[in-house]
């Protein structure tokens, strides 16, 4: 029996991180990507960027912040379709159960593909920040963080598409940074997840963005951060938020009203 328990222990440790399972756009459900889909023929068509190398359910550490892996996670390749959305749409991102220990900020960026996101070169994407929530208060030990709020709401985070941006095909880069080991050098754990959105909007802004490989440095105060120290504030890393960013209150999501057709569903 013991070896089996030990093996299970290893599996649950490896599975202790997470990925975005699905997104719900204005009530319509779209399956996300799962690394196991590489074994399915024909390959499932998802709005989530493909991360077949992420079978270990891992994270991107600070010494990879200059690598293309920070863009949309480990070895990510383009999603094969997009979810139709509008300026002002609310998007719920459903994570696999997030570990309570992995406290940290939840950050969202958009990048205009200036063409189809299904074929865009990810290195060419310039991102602008549309949402960033970090430490909310000190109501629990080691702080009450965006991740605690996400866990409370069925492991779901809601982001709203700015109404002021121009119509276009965009990639949404949604990210959790786990700070549970971030007091150590190279200890922060970034979990970026990307989905394609075809956004119809009455806005005209094309916010200037920056490549994801320039977002963070290992020494940023929000990256090298001791979660177990007596902190009272937290500085969210990365570029400043776009002026047209909308803030949305995080609530328990309603069940999806419909499932998207033409894309993979489990």
Return the DSSP state at 242: P
The string of DSSP letters for 10-21 reads HHHHHTTS--EE
Residue 181 sits in the site that holds Cu ion (CB under 5 A): no
Rg (CA), the chain: 18
Residue whose CB is less far from ligand NAG, 206 or 265: 265
Residue whose CB is less far from ligand NAG, 92 or 131: 92
Q: Tell me how far, at minimum, the Cβ of 23 lies from ligand NAG, in Å.
A: 11
Asked if residue 95 lies in contact with residue 20, where contact means CB atoms within 8 angstroms, the answer is: yes
Residue whose CB is less far from ligand NAG, 99 or 239: 99
Asked if residue 260 lies in contact with residue 32, where contact means CB atoms within 8 angstroms, the answer is: no
Residue 154 sits in the site that holds ligand NAG (CB under 6 A): yes
**Exposure string (b/e) for 120-132, b if CB count within 10 Å is 16 or more?**
bebeebbbbbbbb
Residue whose CB is less far from ligand NAG, 20 or 70: 20
Q: Quick one: what does residue 253 bind among Cu ion, ligand NAG, none, with the CB cut-off 5 to 8 Å set by partner type?
A: ligand NAG
- Residues 15-54 vs Cu ion: string with x where CB under 5 A? -xx-------------------------------------
Residue 34 sits in the site that holds ligand NAG (CB under 6 A): no
Residue 251 sits in the site that holds ligand NAG (CB under 6 A): no
Separation CA 132–CA 214 (nearest Å): 17
β-strands 156-160, 90-95 pairing:
antiparallel
- Specify the DSSP element, H or E, that contains 168: strand 166-178
Residue whose CB is less far from Cu ion, 17 or 129: 17
Give contact residues for ligand NAG (rule: CB under 6 A): 21, 94, 154, 253, 255
């Amino acid at each position: 029996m013991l070896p089996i328990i030990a093996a299970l222990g290893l599996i649950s440790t490896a599975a202790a991180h997470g990925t975005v399972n699905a997104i719900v756009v204005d009530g319509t459900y779209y399956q996300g990507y799962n690394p196991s889909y590489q074994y399915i023929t024909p390959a499932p068509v998802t709005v989530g960027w493909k991360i077949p190398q992420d079978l270990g359910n891992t994270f991107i550490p600070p010494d990879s912040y200059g690598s293309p892996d920070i863009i949309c996670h480990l070895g990510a390749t383009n999603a094969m379709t997009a979810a139709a959305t509008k300026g002002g749409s609310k998007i719920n991102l459903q994570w696999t159960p997030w570990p309570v220990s992995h406290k940290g900020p939840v950050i969202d960026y958009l990048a205009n593909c200036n063409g189809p996101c299904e074929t865009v070169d990810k290195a060419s994407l310039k991102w602008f920040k549309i949402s960033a929530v970090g430490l909310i208060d000190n109501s629990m030990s080691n702080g009450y963080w965006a991740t605690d709020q996400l866990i409370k709401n069925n492991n779901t985070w809601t982001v709203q598409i700015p109404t002021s941006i121009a119509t276009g095909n965009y990639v949404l880069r949604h990210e959790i940074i786990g700070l549970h080991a971030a007091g150590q050098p190279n200890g922060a754990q970034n979990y970026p997840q990307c989905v394609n959105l075809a956004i119809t909007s009455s806005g005209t802004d094309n916010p200037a963005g920056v490549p994801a490989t320039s977002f963070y440095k290992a020494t940023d105060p929000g990256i090298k951060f001791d979660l177990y120290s007596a902190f009272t504030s937290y500085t969210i890393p990365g570029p400043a938020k776009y002026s047209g960013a909308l803030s949305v209150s995080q609530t328990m999501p309603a069940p999806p009203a419909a499932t998207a057709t033409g894309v993979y569903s489990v």
